Amino acid sequence: MDLKKKNTLVSDKESAISSISAPAKVVENKRSGIKLKTNEELLRTTLDSSFDYLQVFKAVRDEHGKIIDFTWILNNRRLIEMIGDRVGKSLLQSYPGVIETGLFNLYVQVTETGVSQTSEFYYDREGLNDWFHQTIIKLNDGFILTGQIITERKKIEQEIYQRSIELKESKELLQNIADAIPDMVSVQEYPSRKVIYFNREPYSISGLNADELSKKSLEDRHKLVHVADLPGLQKYADSFASLSNDDIATVEYRVKNNMDEWIWLRARGKVFERDEKGHVISIVAVVQNIDIQKKAEEEIAKQHNILKQAEELAKIGSWEYNIKTKEFLWSEGMYALFNIKKGKKIKPTIYLEHATKKERTTAEKLINVIERSFQPFEKAMNLKIDGGIKVLKIKVTPLKNNKGETEKMLGVNLDITDSLESSQKIMDLNESLLSMNKELNSLNSELRSFNSITANNYNEALRHVYINLETIVTSDARHLSDSGRANLRRAQSAVQKMKLLTNDINNYLELYDAEVKKELISPKNVLQDIMREAKTKIEEANAKIEIEEMPVLSADPILFSRLLTNLIDNSIKFRMPGEDPVVKIKHTKINELKDVSVPLTGMPYTIITVTDNGIGFETTEKIFELFTQLPGEVKHKGSGMGLAICKRIMEMHKGYITVEAEPGKGASFHCLFPE
């Protein structure tokens, strides 16, 4: 050490000793005002005899005056015994951990502000592992630090704290505990059960405060208890007379709260004090609100019952295998599947015991999965149960903890015996149905060919009959009587009606061979085309067609045109005598329909409604059946096929047609097209 540095340290040391001696040993002579010079050796002896360690530091500053370190300029024997003589050494080089622990900033703060600090802290850096108590006081451009290692004291404090918890006799401790827990804690005289202590916090359980409850007699308190629980509560109270000091009495009961509701409580009591003869004179009781727990237990029991019923209905069972304990737990459904008495201890080898000869390899693999490999498994197995064969679909999966370690294997067994038998029956029925469908398609094809050929020939025959009748009427009319000519005309009218019916039947049958070619169409454009083609008929009937704005919809344009043509034709045909027909065509929302008589599937629909002011009719679904005619419809020359064709067109679009009508008030036909 160079001379300059040594002199500086000596000077700092003398300054420190002088400053320390001032508060410690200076005797002020009030009369003369002269300070007595402290004996340095006496001071050293005094400091070295102290039980506290003492250190004096001087600040080390950079060129800007910022403190960047501290150096020791003095330490007493206590510190030297602890860490050696540190005079002249750097604080940060010796103990860099003071930066991270915040101690360095504390030393800087005291040096800069002059405000003393006292603290306790735990330091586990540079080989130290202790609790410290320190006091820091500014000294010139540095500070004095005195302190003690208080690790042992801290251990004693912790020990005292732990022991204090065990001191049940301490009323103050009991109050602190009682106030901190959400339970009702009481000390009661025994056997009178008079409350001599009650915690003041959680009285929402009964809606009473401590003062009110302490004033109530045992009889009054019993009125708050459910009558069915009184015997159990009395048994609980009587048990204290013979209860040992180590035993706990427990009871669960219901009380009425301030909302006039029954809630579940659990009371747990111990002997608190005995007299010199050993008789119980007071007890301590803790009452818990277990209403949520009870409701949860009820819900679990309910869910368990549902699971049990579900397992019975579905013929399913579940199990779990604890890898650590080797415990193999079955649900009630598993015992039912194997027809084994509930509660019998089971091992995974049961699958091998019940496996058929062909399934033994599969059973061995399953057992290995459960007990050793802990891999997923899924397979159907044939098992011998009750003298028959059951087919169980077995699925196994591992249950892992948050560390990715497999803790349990979970399994589900499903009895698919009946399902397989049903599947086989369905396959047989499907094959039979497929064969019948082929035969039916063949017959339908032949029938349609027959109908087409017959209808054409029939039409031709009717045409010849009509022409011949017309020839007779025009050529031989002078030879016929008036009644004869009238009969011929009626015959011609019948022929015409038969020809119309034949044409309508052909039109209906053609729909079964027609292919639906959907596209986005504008209903208004289609209607304008229909009105141009039916212009003559509309004008002759002096009909008014009102078309509102309608959204585009997905439909076959040709079939859509036939649908609306038939509905408009019906509205004009069945008009009210003496009134001009008015036909309104619009878009309707589903909530505007008074009655939807078809089973809608939740699919959105575009609804086109055709409404008229015609003769109306009694609403009936039979109106859409083949050959259905309204009373008096004969005079309108109807075949009864028009609405049946409309219904078939809507079925081809996977939609529906419904009607709302009333005699004398017209009708509204609603066509529902799926979007």
Per-residue pLDDT tens for 421-436? 888 888 888 888 888 8
pLDDT tens per residue across span 138-193? 999 999 999 888 888 888 888 887 776 665 555 565 566 666 666 778 888 998 88
Question: What average pLDDT score do residues 385-403 get?
Answer: 89
Using a 10 angstrom Cβ sphere, with 0-12 exposed, 13-18 middle and 19 or more buried, the burial of residue 338 is: buried
Question: Residue 135: is its pLDDT beyond 70?
Answer: yes
Domain 167-289: give its CATH code.
3.30.450.20
Give which of 604, 611, 590 is closest to 548, Cα–Cα.
611
Residue 85 in tokens = 């003589």
CATH 3.40.720.10 fits 3-153, yes or no: no
Residue 28's pLDDT is what? 47
- Alpha helix stretches (DSSP H) within 49-196: 77-83, 91-94, 97-100, 103-113, 151-166, 171-180
Sheet holding 117-123, edge to edge: 67-75, 53-61, 142-149, 130-139, 117-123
Instruction: Determine the average pLDDT of the residues in 65-92.
Output: 90
| pTM of the model as a whole | 0.37
What would the pLDDT profile of 201-224 be if each residue is shown by its tens digit?
A: 434 456 655 566 666 676 776 677
Domains 3-153 and 515-674 share a fold: no
- Mean pLDDT in residue range 258-268: 83
Q: How many helices (H) and strands (E) does the chain have?
A: 21, 22
Q: If you average pLDDT over residues 252-279, what whole number do you get?
A: 86
Which positions ≥6 away from 24 have C-beta within 8 Å? 43, 46
User: What pLDDT shows up at residue 459?
Assistant: 67
Least confident among 63-77, 438-452, 569-583: 438-452
Quick: pLDDT tens for 323-381: 989 999 888 888 888 888 888 888 999 999 999 989 999 999 999 999 999 999 999 99
Task: Determine the pLDDT at residue 30.
Answer: 40
- Percent pLDDT > 70 in the chain is 78
CB 334 within 8 A of CB 384: no
Average pLDDT, the chain: 81
pLDDT at 567 over 80: yes
Residue 448 has pLDDT above 70, yes or no: no
Average pLDDT over residues 533-543: 89
pLDDT at 626: 72
Domain ranges of the chain: 3-153, 167-289, 313-412, 422-496, 515-674
The tokens describing 415, both together, are: 């009895």
Distances from the Cα of 647 to the Cα of 6, 567, 583, 619, angstroms: 118, 11, 20, 15
- The average pLDDT across 82-90 equals 89
User: What is the model's pLDDT at position 337?
Assistant: 85
Residues with Cβ < 8 Å from 230, sequence gap 6 or more?
222
Across 597-626, average pLDDT: 81
- The answer to whether residue 127 scores a pLDDT higher than 90 is no
- Tell me what pLDDT residue 113 has: 93
CATH number of the domain located at residue range(s) 515-674 in this protein: 3.30.565.10
For residues 621-649, average pLDDT = 72
Q: Which of 382-386, 547-551, 565-569, 639-643 has the lowest mean pLDDT?
A: 639-643
- Cβ-based neighbours of 356, under 8 Å, separated by 6 or more: 382, 383, 384, 389
pLDDT at 402 over 60: yes
Residue 57: helix, strand or coil by DSSP? Answer: strand
Closest of 392, 320, 326 to residue 354, by C-alpha: 392
Query: What per-residue confidence (pLDDT) applies to 41?
Result: 66
Whether omega for the bond prior to residue 551 falls within 30 degrees of 0, making it cis, is no
pLDDT of the residue at 304 = 66
Question: Which runs of E-coded beta strand occur in 115-199?
Answer: 117-123, 130-139, 142-149, 184-189, 195-198
Position of tokens 């509660």? 343
**Residue 43 pLDDT:** 63
Contact 96, 126 (CB under 8 A): yes
* Tokens representing residue 54 in the block: 């003492």
pLDDT at residue 452, as a whole number: 65
Topology of domain 313-412, per CATH?
Beta-Lactamase (3.30.450)
Q: Is the pLDDT of residue 610 over 90?
A: yes
Q: What is the pLDDT of residue 477?
A: 66
List, for residues 497-529, the tens digit of each pLDDT value: 777 667 767 777 777 777 888 999 999 999 999
The answer, yes or no, to whether residue 464 has pLDDT greater than 90, is no
Mean pLDDT, rounded, for 29-56? 62
- As a whole number, mean pLDDT of residues 92-118 equals 93
Contact between 39 and 24 (Cβ < 8 Å):
no
